[in-house]
Structure 1
Amino acid sequence: MAFSRSLIRRTAALAAAAAAVVLAACGSSSEPSSSPSSSSGHSGHDMGAMTSGSPSAGGSMAQGGHNAQDGHNAQDVSFAQGMIPHHRQAVAMADLAASRAKSPQVKDLAAKIEQAQDPEIDTMSGWLRSWGENVPDAGMSGMESMPGMDHSGSSMPGMMSGDDMSKLKALSGDAFDKAFLHMMIGHHRGAIESAKAEQAKGAYGAAKTMATSIVTSQSAEITAMIRMLGKQ
């Protein structure tokens, strides 16, 4: 009987030990269930890092008023807003030549001015709209006497006053040709001055390219007009 009781106690001890081993194994196997949360936390950190590293909407504007996204600055805006009415006035002067000029050379020059400057007006207007800037009013051609559109008030050099334009409109024949050439020479010189400022201070590539074209083409036209005046 004593042997039987001893055997029972040893069997119970072994059973308890076996149960402890099973419980320990279960405890260790449950640990991976916590890994998804830690993994999720790591994933969230990565996502936060990716988000903070993405460019912000305000990052397109650099200091000094320069727009880093399309590369224009305040000088480009000033150039376009000044050159549009300047070109419109040149086109208005050229329009008069079709019916008032006597010289075929003057008429040909006027037609070339229209062909060159009308598309440039459209191009510069498109720039201003894309930049969210005001496009000068279409009535600003200098055909009417308006404040700020004469030599003393215009921001663009070379602009004719409303009185100048009215006088030109009243002329015809040789008198028109002579007045037109003198006025257009001064007008072109003003455009060249503004275009050179754009070349020096502008940032927008297309505007600087147009400015270079204006300097080149209108310098050549000034030379041609001076020759025309010498023949009159």
Structure 2
Amino acid sequence: MKRSVLAGIAAGSVLAATAASGTATASQQSAGPPGWGMMASTSSMPGANVSDEADYLTHMIAHHKEAVAAAKQLQRSGRAQMRTLGASIVTTQSAEIATMNRWLTTWYRGHSPQTGYRPMMRDLSKLSGDALDEAFLRDMIPHHMMAVMMSQQLLMHGDVQHPPVAAFAAKVRDAQHAEMVQMQQYLADWFGGEGMPCPMGR
């Protein structure tokens, strides 16, 4: 229930921002389209606050690792769409973990890897069929929301030292929001799920 409430609270800002987005110039990348700044400044999701670039990378690595572990469970799904989604998350986020680890090693060798990360996904290993698919969608939507909010907060208020990290955060923000919309549609189509409405023009 808490996950659904959190997703619902943030949904309006996220979807309004995406609906208003277009092709951003380099100078607009950090600010993002209208609505992202408000979302970043008003975030109250536990763990969504990042203070600087190293903090963002450390927390996002832990966050991605949890997503990859959960997405691997979708290999057992009976729905081709879910298997495809899971494979995409595993491939994309595993590569992003490697990139972030390389940046941490190169730029922040002395940074503590301890994050105090609090898991957001339930144990999916004993679920199957509809129960697996629904639990994954209901947990991964707010999980992606967290990544979106962390990324935008870094871009708006964090101490970004390296341009590749800014580009990376913008990519995570936009890609995971798109996956959130897709997952919300699956939830609505298959399970009558409540939460974020899909934006116009989908």
Give the TM-score band, short-chain normalised: 0.5 to 0.7
Aligned to 2:48: none
Q: Distance in 2 between matches of 1:125 and 1:135?
A: 12
Q: Is 1:95 equivalent to 2:72 in the alignment?
A: yes
The 5 A counterparts of 1:1-232 are 75-99=52-76, 101-131=77-107, 132-134=109-111, 136=113, 148-150=116-118, 159-160=119-120, 164=122, 166=123, 168-200=124-156, 201=158, 202-232=160-190
Deviations 1:138-187 (A, max 9, x none): xx9xxxxxxx443xxxxxxxx416xx2x2x22101111000001111011
RCO higher in structure (CA 8 A, sep ≥6):
2
1:104: Cα distance to partner?
Answer: 1.1
Kindly state the Cα deviation for residue 135 of structure 1 after the two structures are TM-superposed: 6.8
Structure 2 CA distance for aligned equivalents of residues 223 and 217 of structure 1:
10
Distance 1:206 1:105, change over 3 A: same
Between the aligned partners of 1:206 and 1:105, the Cα distance in structure 2 is: 32
CA-based RMSD: 1.8
Q: Mark the runs of 5 or more structure 1 residues left unpaired by the alignment.
A: 1-73, 141-147, 151-158
Q: How far apart are the structure 2 equivalents of 1:135 and 1:105?
A: 38
Secondary structure (helix, strand or coil) at the match of 1:231 reads helix
Question: In 2 relative to 1, CA 209–89 (structure 1 residues): closer, same or farther, beyond 3 Å?
Answer: same
Q: Percent of aligned positions with the same letter in both sequences?
A: 32
| TM-score using structure 1 length | 0.56
Residue correspondences, number: 137
Q: Distance in 2 between matches of 1:191 and 1:133?
A: 24
TM-score w.r.t. the length of structure 2 is 0.63
Q: Which has the larger radius of gyration?
A: 1
Give every structure 1 segment of 4 or more consecutive aligned residues whose post-TM-superposition deviation is greater than 4 Å: none
For 1:135 and 1:172, the matched residues in 2 are separated by 37
**Which one-letter code corresponds to 2:120 in the other structure?**
M
Q: Are the aligned partners of 1:103 and 1:174 in contact in 2 as well (CA < 8 Å)?
A: no
The corresponding residue for 1:24 is none
Question: Contact between 2:62 and 2:117, CA under 8 Å: does it hold in 1?
Answer: no
Q: What are the superposed Cα offsets for residues 42-65 of structure 1, whole Å, 9 maximum, x if unpaired? A: xxxxxxxxxxxxxxxxxxxxxxxx
**SS in structure 1 at match of 2:52:** helix
Other structure's SS at 1:198 match: helix
